Amino acid sequence: MTFLTLRVRTFLFMLLIILVAFVLTGTFSLYHFRSENKQYHYDRLARKENAMVNHLDYITKEFQGRNLSEAQWRELLSDKVSEVSSVHQLDMGVYSKNGNLLSGSLLYSNDPKVFPPTVFIEEAAAPGEEVHLKIKERPPYLIGTRALHNDSGILEFIVRVPYEVSANDIPDEDYNFLRRLAFIYIVLFLLGIVMALFLSNYISKNMRAVSERLKEFRLNQSNEKLEWRFNDEIGELISEYNIMVEKLEKTAVELAQSERESAWKEMAQQVAHEIKNPLTPMKLTLQMMQREKDLEELHSMTANLLEEIESLSHIAEAFSRFAQMPDLSLDAEDVSYLTNRAASLYLDQGIRFVSTGPLHARVDKEQWTRVIHNLIKNAVQSIPEGREPDILITAAKAKDKAMISVQDNGGGIPEEMQHKVFEPNFTTKSSGMGLGLALVKNLVNSFGGAIGFDTSEKGTTFIIVLPLLNPKQK
């Protein structure tokens, strides 16, 4: 699953805010204009209807209160209703107090729903409520109903005025306003895209700077602090990063000092252990020499002492070589050829060499030979007594890497000891200081490579991986 980056999320969130604001503003404006337009039509109907009822009341005043029949009123109102309707440019219908249609004008409509033959009396106002108007919505009409009473308060007519409302219930000027508003929002949206892109890039750029510094952070090196001009959230993050750099640098110094002390203590214990081994027989030999009078026996004891002293000298020299790594002279060398030349010295010990061709890497020629000698000696010494040695050395190319492996047929490395293979005091042999593999790892790392191993009961294979040089680097 692909997750959106902070930059993309910031950009989309800002655009979403603009779109939501646009939709909410447009919806509210549309609702407001519709409500305003509806109220406008209600008010206009009320004014028109009031004027028409007053006009009708005026021209029928002299006939009111005479208890005329519906037929008489129909004859009387046939022209007058059309006259009122024509003057006010609006249809109207006049009903008797029983709800029967007396007369109606049809200037704009022949719809029977507008002027039904009979209306319910309840739609009209009660006596004494001449000014009261009831409006019902019957699309596409608003129908206003009012009762007309005479001076005695007796119901004379029920007047219904249909008011047709256009299907487009928002005036053109309001639509023009909405179109202008939409145009403004489109411009704002485009500006918002630019601003959102700028701001998201600005935020992600600074976050990326912090990320790159974190990737480059090293405990054993001096790490550069970040600077920020503003006291905002990014500034707080950078401030915490700078505090972390200070604390980690102090912790790294303390840890390095502790590791050095621990390493020297461990080395001192190893040196003391190695020196004690020859000192004990030397002490016994000297004690025997004090009591011995036979010159021949004394010469023999003296030879033993010299051997033990020579052993002590070798121990001191080995520790000195490990403690003081030689200055390296890195050059483009064919490690396949150097490995083959070093392995050729051990052909009588069951060693085979296989190569896929020249492999050029930047190494120190002498120290590379030293690495191969150490691995071969380690492989030879791992073969149990009574087993014929079978050691295979290969040099091959894997993409842009050179892979050199030394495979033996020994008994393998026990699982509980595998994590100590490259430690300075590790050895599985009864003799030796266990510095060879530690020295090999230090040298390989100095060449820019890496070393590992694969072990089982059938033997162990040490694998060195070095970066190959391209033809331009040779």
119-128, 295-304, 338-347 — which one is most confidently predicted on average?
A: 338-347
DSSP alpha helices (H): ranges in 327-471?
Answer: 335-343, 365-381, 436-446
DSSP alpha helices (H): ranges in 101-171?
Answer: none
Residue range 22-40: mean pLDDT, rounded:
82
Give the pLDDT confidence of 369-391 residue by residue, as tens digits.
888 988 988 888 888 888 888 89
Q: Which residue segments constitute the domains of the chain, with CATH numbers given?
A: 6-164 (3.30.450.20), 233-323 (1.10.287), 331-473 (3.30.565.10)
Strand 351-355 relative to strand 391-398, pairing: parallel
Residue 426 scores a pLDDT above 70? no
- pLDDT category of residue 360 using cuts at 50, 70 and 90: very high
Give the pLDDT confidence of 236-268 residue by residue, as tens digits.
777 777 787 777 777 777 776 676 666 666 665
Query: In angstroms, rounded to a whole number, what is the distance separating the alpha carbons of residues 324 and 307?
Result: 26
Name the helix (H) or strand (E) containing 192: helix 172-216
Query: In angstroms, rounded to a whole number, what is the distance separating the alpha carbons of residues 383 and 376?
Result: 11
For the chain, give the mean pLDDT. Answer: 76
226-235, 351-360, 437-446 — which one is most confidently predicted on average?
A: 351-360
How many Cα neighbours within 13 Å face the side chain of 319? Answer: 18
368 within 8 A of 427, measured Cβ to Cβ:
no
What is residue 403's predicted lDDT score, i.e. its pLDDT? 94
Give the pLDDT confidence of 441-462 residue by residue, as tens digits.
888 988 999 999 999 888 999 9
- pLDDT category of residue 428 using cuts at 50, 70 and 90: very low
357 within 8 A of 397, measured Cβ to Cβ:
yes
Query: In angstroms, rounded to a whole number, what is the distance separating the alpha carbons of residues 452 and 299?
Result: 49
Residues 6 or more apart whose CB falls under 8 angstroms from that of 201 comprise 7
Q: Residue 126 corresponds to which amino acid?
A: A
Give the pLDDT confidence of 124-135 residue by residue, as tens digits.
444 444 445 676
- pLDDT category of residue 108 using cuts at 50, 70 and 90: very low
- pLDDT category of residue 291 using cuts at 50, 70 and 90: low
Residue in 129, 56, 118, 65 with CA at minimum distance from that of residue 88: 56
Is 94 exposed, middle or buried, given 0-12, 13-18 or 19+ CB atoms closer than 10 A? buried
What is residue 307's predicted lDDT score, i.e. its pLDDT? 67
- pLDDT category of residue 392 using cuts at 50, 70 and 90: very high
Query: In angstroms, rounded to a whole number, what is the distance separating the alpha carbons of residues 139 and 125?
Result: 23
150 or 406, which is more confident: 406
210 within 8 A of 238, measured Cβ to Cβ:
yes
Phi, psi of 101 (to 5 degrees): -70, 125
Mark residue 434 as left, alpha or beta (left: phi above 0; alpha: psi -120 to 50; beta: remaining). left
Residue 393 scores a pLDDT above 50? yes
State the pTM of this model: 0.39
Query: In angstroms, rounded to a whole number, what is the distance separating the alpha carbons of residues 392 and 379?
Result: 10
